[in-house]
Structure 1
């Protein structure tokens, strides 16, 4: 089994992004699955094509996109992506879409194929905060989750894909009072446990809800 894991580059005023800092430190193999790591641009118009090219080239069984969610207290697997780009700020290409569909012929929304209930339980068992999110926002994180799902629906029907948000790193909140953060080691641990669960649950139904 091959799992493509992506993380965004830094954006806005931050010089670091916990997403790719976490991804690039993942083991090359988790639960006997080969882990492919890819940094992607925080850019609406480019991130989808970068991931698409890697899917075509590497033929992964799963895609797990990871992104930063400043203000969240834990690791949050996303359940759904919506067909909307609406940037609160410009991306790294200085592009800021307002109320624009991602794909004109795409569904209003797509649900993940990842076992988000089991993933959340596994992360919590490691003593880390985690909960399922019902909104990936309308910025580039939601965009890439939606784009991968759209490609799955139109090109790669056997692919399974999803998205996880992780909090700020401690260094990112020095000048952000009262903002939650999580260490890089804990981010790595949480993502590893999520991937282990993806492998263990492959082909099984994610029927048990989290508490």
Structure 2
């Protein structure tokens, strides 16, 4: 069976919980198409997160990598189109706050997701879940992890679908923070599972040589 590495993040800033952590924990061990999901939670730490996802890729040898992040304020599930070679943003959980720093010196300016993001959002919308492609993953840890994974696949010439999906806040966070768009936990899990089902289905078809990933 193939392995799909699914990552989320620990709580950060003033969010006492991170819905991505709860989603990946619930999906850990799930079998979706030909993939078995192995879930891991990454630290919100510029000095460690990128190295950890690379370490997991090297240790597990996954056939696909999907990372999740919280985008509090968004009301749609948003697969990301591109990661940029910059780290910048609020202070992380260890007190680091890089400003306009490259993730990789002399690395490419950006990497496009290699997930079937267009078909992911089509299926999400068909299932009644608001979704759209995002053209900016920001410059915080979400972008950092996405860039690191895609850079690793690029320099090691690995044909492994990889990318990032931002999700709205959970109702639990909305209760805590007030006026923020939110989804019930069960719909966040459903949305991620749908995205993984699309990936599994398209990967199976790609192996027959019928189609290619779409942006």
Q: CA deviation at 1:177?
A: 3.8
Q: In structure 2, the residue corresponding to 1:120 is in which secondary structure? A: helix
Match of residue 164 from structure 1: 165
Instruction: Work out the number of aligned pairs and report it.
Output: 207
Structure 1 residue 57 displacement after superposition: 1.1
SS in 2 for 1:199: helix
Q: Does 1:173 align with 2:174?
A: yes
Residue 84 of structure 2 corresponds to residue 82 of structure 1 = yes
The reply on whether 1:58 has 2:60 as its aligned counterpart is: yes
Contact 1:74 1:182 in 2 (8 A): no
Find out whether 1:114 has 2:115 as its counterpart.
Answer: yes
Deviation, structure 1 residue 32: 2.9
- Per-residue Cα deviation, 1:51-78 (whole angstroms, up to 9, x for no partner): 1111111110110000000100011000
Cα drift, residue 165 of structure 1: 0.3
1:73–1:180 contact (8 Å) kept in structure 2: yes
Which residue in 1 is equivalent to 2:129? 128
Q: Aligned residue for 1:142?
A: 143
TM norm structure 2 = 0.92
Counterpart position of 1:205 = 212
Residues in 2 aligned to 1:31 and 1:197: alpha-carbon distance in whole angstroms = 9
The equivalent of 1:68 in structure 2 is: 70
Counterpart in the other structure of 1:99: 100
Q: Unaligned 5+ residue runs, structure 2?
A: none
Please list every run of 5 or more consecutive structure 1 residues that lacks an aligned counterpart in the other structure. Answer: none
Q: CA RMSD in A?
A: 1.3
